[in-house]
């Protein structure tokens, strides 16, 4: 079989990570790009040396395209994913999987009905430290997980929102710090700790209330099936972008993630492993996971295997996220 023909819809900030990852693959080749912004479209066409169009419907109708990468604002993820699946394309959608559980379910159902592959870009699961944490948990040597915490302190200032007006609006972004930035950490915590139940969530716009209608700060209490407790805090109000921190407490040890560094405490010994990798492209807080994630997507497609991050799995992160937004309505109203 020849290489998969690929189309990228949305040529904004994150598209560079997708173009770069695709340029390294033998089994996938970029065939076309799409953006409604003429300047961005022309730039992507010139840099990637492929044709382009402003209408995504035109792109998904191309017979030389087998898979599409969806890199557009959140409110378009479900509509374009579903149409692309129905047009017979495999879909790699940037996070989040829809702005609501209903949208995520419709995306999953479309993948089931069409038999096409759908995955969602939670590339941080491919970080070396994330993989090591999962491995340690599955080995079971630290005993049962008893709880943990996750901390995301980042900085998104006014221009980040004013230059891309889809951000900071309920209708188009669907939220802010949780759905856009901290969703990766919520997904990673869910991936490591298993099913999590929301016990309570508070959201507020502490710094950007004049600019955005959504939240810049979010905190939650979650519990796992055994009653283990997890604190989750995320804010875009910090002065820089701190490495994501996660603590997991086990019966016989602890793990502490500090960006790419993982410290494991077990049997009286403390060991730190550094999984720092050189950034190929993009912002440091996006990490280096796009390359391995996209490579794995096409390796599995070629092998006839399902995606590592299945629609059913990704959907659970959207479900938890939606519960958090609904719960926080007690303190801050989410219209629509």
Q: Which of left, alpha, beta for 53 (phi over 0: left; psi -120 to 50: alpha)?
A: beta
Q: Are the beta carbons of 86 and 110 closer than 8 angstroms?
A: yes
Question: How far apart, in whole angstroms, are the C-alpha atoms of residue 240 and residue 238?
Answer: 6
Q: Are the beta carbons of 230 and 189 closer than 8 angstroms?
A: yes
Closer residue to ligand NAD in complex, CB, 116/167: 167
Question: How far apart, in whole angstroms, are the C-alpha atoms of residue 258 and residue 238?
Answer: 17
Q: How far is the CB of 265 from ligand NAD (least distance, A)?
A: 29
Closer residue to ligand NAD in complex, CB, 275/286: 286
Closer residue to ligand NAD in complex, CB, 40/299: 40
Checking 264-271 for CB contacts under 8 A at 24+ apart, the result is 264/136, 266/141, 266/142
Q: How far is the CB of 56 from ligand NAD (least distance, A)?
A: 5
Question: How far apart, in whole angstroms, are the C-alpha atoms of residue 74 and residue 70?
Answer: 10
Closer residue to ligand NAD in complex, CB, 244/249: 244
The residues near 326 (Cβ < 8 Å, ≥ 6 apart) are 334
Paired tokens of 333: 């109203």
Residue nearest ligand NAD, Cβ-based:
12
Q: How far is the CB of 247 from ligand NAD (least distance, A)?
A: 22
Q: How far is the CB of 30 from ligand NAD (least distance, A)?
A: 16
Paired tokens of 307: 């995606």
Judged by the rule CB under 6 A, the positions of this chain that interact with ligand NAD are: 9-14, 34-37, 40, 56, 71-74, 76, 94-95, 121, 123, 164, 180, 286
The residues near 233 (Cβ < 8 Å, ≥ 6 apart) are 149, 150, 151, 152, 218, 219, 220
Question: How far apart, in whole angstroms, are the C-alpha atoms of residue 208 and residue 154?
Answer: 13
Closer residue to ligand NAD in complex, CB, 35/224: 35
Question: How far apart, in whole angstroms, are the C-alpha atoms of residue 146 and residue 143?
Answer: 9
- Which helix (H) or strand (E) segment holds residue 118: the answer is strand 118-121
Q: How far is the CB of 143 from ligand NAD (least distance, A)?
A: 33
Closer residue to ligand NAD in complex, CB, 90/95: 95
Supply φ then ψ for residue 263, to 5 degrees: -110, 130
Closer residue to ligand NAD in complex, CB, 95/250: 95
Closer residue to ligand NAD in complex, CB, 27/164: 164
Q: Are the beta carbons of 133 and 192 closer than 8 angstroms?
A: yes
Q: How far is the CB of 162 from ligand NAD (least distance, A)?
A: 12
- Three-class SS of residue 196? strand
Say if residue 96 is preceded by a cis peptide, omega within 30 of 0: yes
Q: How far is the CB of 75 from ligand NAD (least distance, A)?
A: 9
Q: How far is the CB of 14 from ligand NAD (least distance, A)?
A: 4
Closer residue to ligand NAD in complex, CB, 95/108: 95
Q: How far is the CB of 10 from ligand NAD (least distance, A)?
A: 3
């Amino acid at each position: 079989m020849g290489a998969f023909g690929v189309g990228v819809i949305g040529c904004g900030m994150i598209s560079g990570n997708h173009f770069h990852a695709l340029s390294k693959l033998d089994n996938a080749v970029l065939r076309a790009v799409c953006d409604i912004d003429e300047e961005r479209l022309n730039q992507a066409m010139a840099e990637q040396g492929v044709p382009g169009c402003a209408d995504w419907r035109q792109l998904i109708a191309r017979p030389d395209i087998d898979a599409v990468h969806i890199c557009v604002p959140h409110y378009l993820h479900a509509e374009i994913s579903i149409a692309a699946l129905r047009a017979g394309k495999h879909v790699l959608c940037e996070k989040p999987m829809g702005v609501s559980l209903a949208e995520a379910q419709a995306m999953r159902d479309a993948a089931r009905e069409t038999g096409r592959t759908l995955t969602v870009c939670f590339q941080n699961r491919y970080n070396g430290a994330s993989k090591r944490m999962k491995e340690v948990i599955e080995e079971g040597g630290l005993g049962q997980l008893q709880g943990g915490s996750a901390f995301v302190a980042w900085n998104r200032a006014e221009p980040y929102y004013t230059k891309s007006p889809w951000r900071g609006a309920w209708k188009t972004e669907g939220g802010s710090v949780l759905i856009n930035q901290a969703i990766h950490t919520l997904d990673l915590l869910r991936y490591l700790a298993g099913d999590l139940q929301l016990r309570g969530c508070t959201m507020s716009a502490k710094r950007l209330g004049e600019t955005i209608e959504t939240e810049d700060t979010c905190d939650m209490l979650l519990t796992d099936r055994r009653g283990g407790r997890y604190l989750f805090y995320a804010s875009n109000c910090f002065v820089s972008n701190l490495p994501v921190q996660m603590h997991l407490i086990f019966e016989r040890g602890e793990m502490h993630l500090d960006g790419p560094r993982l410290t494991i405490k077990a049997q009286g010994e403390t060991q730190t492993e550094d999984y720092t990798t050189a950034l190929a492209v993009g912002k440091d807080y996006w990490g280096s996971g796009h390359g391995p994630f996209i490579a794995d997507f096409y390796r599995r497609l070629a092998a006839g295997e399902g995606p590592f991050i299945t629609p059913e799995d990704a959907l659970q992160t959207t479900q938890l996220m939606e519960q958090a937004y609904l719960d926080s309505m007690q303190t801050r109203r989410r219209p629509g």
